[in-house]
Amino acid sequence: MDRKNKRRKAFTLVELLVVVLIITMLAAFVTPRLFTGIGRTKAQLSKAKMATIENALGRFYMDCDRYPDDAEGLDVLIEPPADIEEDKWHGPYLKRSDLVDLWGRPYIYVAEGEVNPGTPDLISLGQDGMDGGDGDNADIYND
Average pLDDT taken over every residue of the chain: 85
- Please state, for a pLDDT cut of 90, what percent of the chain lies above it: 35
Q: Could you report the per-residue pLDDT of 29-50, keeping only the tens digit for each? A: 877 776 666 777 888 888 899 9
Q: Say yes or no to pLDDT of 97 above 70.
A: yes
Residue of 138, 128, 137, 140 lying closest to 48 (CA atoms): 140
Q: Could you report the per-residue pLDDT of 68-82, keeping only the tens digit for each? A: 999 999 999 999 888
C-alpha 108/C-alpha 125 separation (Å) is 8
Report the predicted TM-score, pTM, of the whole model to 2 decimal places: 0.70
Who wins on pLDDT, 15 or 38?
15
Phi, psi of 36 (to 5 degrees): -70, -30
Instruction: Give the model's pLDDT for residue 33.
Output: 72
Q: What angle do CA 30, 33, 38 make, to 5 degrees?
A: 125
Instruction: Give the model's pLDDT for residue 95.
Output: 92
Domain 43-143 is found in CATH 3.40.50.150: no
CB atoms within 10 A of CB 112: 13
Q: Could you report the per-residue pLDDT of 100-132, keeping only the tens digit for each? A: 998 899 999 998 888 878 889 999 988 887 787
Q: In what order do the strands lie in the sheet with 121-124?
A: 108-110, 121-124, 140-141
